Amino acid sequence: MVTVENGFVFREPSEKSRDVMRRDVKSISPSYTRSYGFAISHGKGSEVWDVDGNRYIDFAAGIAVLATGYSHPRVVEAVKTQAEKYFHIGSTDFFCPQPVRLAEKLQQVVPIHNATNPDDKLTYFANSGTESVETALKLARYYDNKRSHLIAFYGAFHGRTMGSLSLTASKYTQRAGYDYIPGGVSHVPYPARNEGDKWTDAVAFIEKFVFKKVSPKEVAAVIVEPIQGEGGYLVPHDDFFPRLRELCDKHGILIIADEIQSGVGRTGTFTALEHFGVSADIVCLAKGLGSGIPIGAVVAHKDIMGKWIPGAHASTFGGNPIACAAANETISIIEESLLDNVNTLGSYTYDRLTKFMGDHPSMTRVDGKGFMIGMDFTDADGKPAPDFRNEVVNKCYLKGLLTLGCGTSGIRFSPPLVLTRELLEEGLDILEHAIAETEEEMFG
């Protein structure tokens, strides 16, 4: 039996879940997007249970946040140990061991352009992805105050605060009614492979069109997702980043890599940009960094971030010791074992989803790296099929698999990095059955 209430599908039994939903819609902003009627009770590893006792496999990880899964015992212990000492000290005003330790770790694992030694890098701590992006924008414009223009990409999602919102170009509803930040932003097509006849030479587009209206000397930075997230889990052409690096170096333009969704081991390397053989001047991190504890970070070359003077930028809660403790343990766990797991199971998943595409005509694209893989669905005429995608997502939920959409008609594979082969197989079986049933119902 399936229950639909207030437009949400519920898996039975659902009395407690529906009660949470009813209270939610009466008390929480309607700006949040909810896909279906899941109301969490607790989780362990890559499995989660709702308040009615139904069990699920998680292929979404809280939007690519739960790097070490639900309540990893080592992260729990790290948080508990720090919480028993103190919750907060104010890293803007006092010295604190946890953020220092985390900054030193990030110096080791985050590649930065022209940084030959770890000491060539500096880190700023924020509380979220959008704060990290805001920091990067301010830093890039502070570095050369004669440059204020920014270049971003269509389909990008960089956050919802005013500066980052000017860069976001994923859905018009996200920025409706808000002007762009002073200095201006130019958007260009994202150079995704497997995009048919669409313009994919973004570097040529910048040179041919953007630099016709804005002098390169006015451009502070290009901000880009190494693999585009909300835009559809799109992977760029292999030559894009080397050519972009060459263009930016030629004109003294900084590259900001938004690794908020793609970073912290999700693609099988600590940062996704490592797959393309180049590095950015500024790197933004968040999501998976704290395994669910809110934290953001910006890592940059010391020649760039070192120009800031005391008071130029700060955050009361940035570098919170509990969040840093969670991040320190998260990085240790990822380095010890999870990158191999992501690469091995990610390759298997890519191959199996590619086989799905051969068996199911509704499925027309599979692309990604590691545990960041997207799949698209189209109708019989080859047009994007968001209704089909939404039905697959609902069916997965009803069968015990949590998924989330991305792009116009895609589904993302972004599970916890601790996902096991056994749970992966079970989840992929559910996904394929959901696709087959939806094809039968919609296409006959």
Give 18-35 pLDDT, tens digit per residue: 999 999 999 999 989 888
The amino acid present at 329, given as its one-letter code, is E
Burial class (CB in 10 A: 0-12, 13-18, 19+), 76: middle
Mean pLDDT of 149-172: 86
Decide if pLDDT at 86 tops 90.
yes
Q: What is the pLDDT of residue 197?
A: 46
Q: What proportions of the chain, in percent to the nearest 5, are helix, strand and coil?
A: 40, 20, 40
Q: 């309540």: which residue's tokens?
A: 71
Judging by beta carbons within 10 Å of its beta carbon (0-12, 13-18, 19+), is residue 184 exposed, middle or buried? middle
CB neighbourhood size of 72 (10 A): 22
Alpha carbon distance 48, 67 (integer Å): 14
> Residue 65: left if φ>0, alpha if ψ -120 to 50, beta else—which one?
alpha
CB atoms near residue 51 (< 10 Å): 18
Distance separating alpha carbons of residues 406 and 423, to the nearest angstrom? 22
The sheet with strand 363-369 has its strands ordered as 363-369, 372-377, 410-413, 404-406
Task: Say which residues have a Cβ less than 8 Å from residue 205's Cβ, sequence separation at least 6.
Answer: 188, 189, 199
- 286-309 pLDDT, tens digit each: 999 999 999 999 999 999 999 999
113 touches 301 (CB < 8 A): yes
d(CA 314, CA 99): 14
Q: Please, which residues have CB within 8 angstroms of residue 323's CB and are 6 or more apart in sequence? A: 127, 290, 293, 294, 295
Task: Please say whether the beta carbons of 210 and 169 come within 8 A.
Answer: no
CA torsion angle for 72, 76, 82, 87 (degrees, to 10)? 110
Per-residue pLDDT tens over the stretch 241-273: 999 999 999 999 999 999 999 999 999 999 999
HSE value, Cβ hemisphere, 13 Å, CA-based, for 362: 25
In Å, how far from its chain's centre is CA 166?
Answer: 18
Query: In sequence order, which residues have a C-beta less than 8 Å from that of residue 350 and are 6 or more positions away?
Result: 366, 368, 373
- pLDDT range class, residue 387, cuts 50, 70, 90: very high
Q: Which tokens belong to 45? A: 């590893």
Q: What is the pLDDT of residues 35-52, one digit of tens each?
A: 899 999 999 999 999 999
Q: How far apart are CA 443 and CA 85, in angstroms?
A: 60
- 10 Å CB burial of residue 189 (0-12, 13-18, 19+) is middle
Which of the pair, 70 or 164, is modelled with greater confidence?
70
Judge contact between 307 and 142, C-beta under 8 A: yes
End-to-end CA distance of the chain: 22
Query: pTM value?
Result: 0.95
* Chain segment 98-123, per-residue pLDDT in tens: 999 999 999 999 999 999 999 999 99
| Distance of alpha carbon 202 from alpha carbon 156, whole angstroms | 14
Q: In this structure, is the dihedral angle defined by the CA atoms of residues 198, 203, 205 and 208, taken in order, positive or negative?
A: negative
- Mean pLDDT score of the chain: 94
Order of strands, sheet of 219-224, starting from the edge strand that comes earlier in the sequence? 121-126, 296-301, 282-285, 254-258, 219-224, 149-153, 185-188
Q: Which amino acid is it at 57?
A: I
Tell me the backbone φ, ψ of residue 348, rounded to 5 degrees. -65, -45
**For residue 242, which of 113, 384, 86, 75 has the smallest C-alpha distance?**
113
Domains, the chain, ordered by start: 2-71+338-443 (3.90.1150.10), 88-319 (3.40.640.10)
pLDDT confidence of residue 202: 94
* pLDDT tens-digit series, residues 164-222: 888 888 766 666 666 666 668 999 999 998 665 455 799 999 999 999 999 999 999 99
- State the angle between helix axes of 339-359 and 421-443 in degrees (0 to 180), rounded to the nearest 10: 20
Q: Which two tokens mark 51? A: 């308040």
Under a CB-based contact definition with an 8 Å cutoff, are residues 389 and 405 in contact? Answer: yes
Question: Cα–Cα distance between 125 and 92 in angstroms, integer?
Answer: 10
